[in-house]
Amino acid sequence: MVILALVDADYKFLWVDVGANGASSDAGVFNRSGLEPSLRMGTLGLPPPDPLPNDDQDTPYFIVGDDAFPLRTYLMKPYSHRYLTRQERICNYRFSRGRRVVENAFGILANRFRCLLTTMRLRPANVMRVAKACLTLHNIMRIRYPRIQNADLDLEDDEGQLIPGAWRDNAVMQDVQAAGRGPRTTAAGKEQRAYLKNYFNSPAGSVPWQDFAINN
């Protein structure tokens, strides 16, 4: 049974889809969800486009997914992992830093509620209730006791190198790479990703350690 979720920067679950068949791809679940049309039609209530830090051009708000998802203006994903330029590798690194927040949220969730890592001997409807209860309790813990949970999170040193969080020692997460339905990319999505790539490689949007990070 799949839990597909949208996570914010504070490791809280903003939106979840619980109950899809375990053989379903992440992108397939997303495309059949209520979130996808809300993003596509602009009815979700996202803030209007704003300039990125140190920039002067408005950029739409977007979510970051892995390569299994389609490329849209509202959903950015990394470049293909073949024959990448240096600028594309840096762009992928910056996207991966954002997706690390999602990995940590799921890692904390599964590490605290170990029932999610095992086969539940319950009816599917009850499994969904248990999963939703775990997600709700996770958010409550993030709000009330964030410092306790932060001890398990990934960290970065002064050079941007990953220091794995404690949850990675126990929880096992699997990336679903199967393709979903619908066109994989749009011209506007490609154009926005190219803009972000240039931004991440510019003095306005770069971070000091990104060149070191892609070479190690």
Residues of the domain holding 59: 2-214
Give residues with Cβ within 8 angstroms of 144, minimum separation 6: none
For position 169, what pLDDT does the model report?
66
Domains of the chain: total: 1
* pTM to 2 decimal places: 0.80
Q: Return the DSSP state at 79.
A: P
- At 191, list the tokens: 């154009």
3-state helix, strand, coil in the chain (%, to 5): 45, 15, 45
Range list of H helices, 81-186: 86-112, 124-144, 146-150
Instruction: Give the CA dihedral 148, 151, 152, 158, nearest 10 degrees.
Output: 150
For position 56, what pLDDT does the model report?
92
pLDDT averaged per 10 residues in sequence order, the chain, 216 residues: 90 91 81 89 90 94 89 92 90 91 88 87 93 95 79 67 65 40 74 96 93 84
For position 178, what pLDDT does the model report?
36
For position 110, what pLDDT does the model report?
86
For position 155, what pLDDT does the model report?
67
For position 166, what pLDDT does the model report?
64
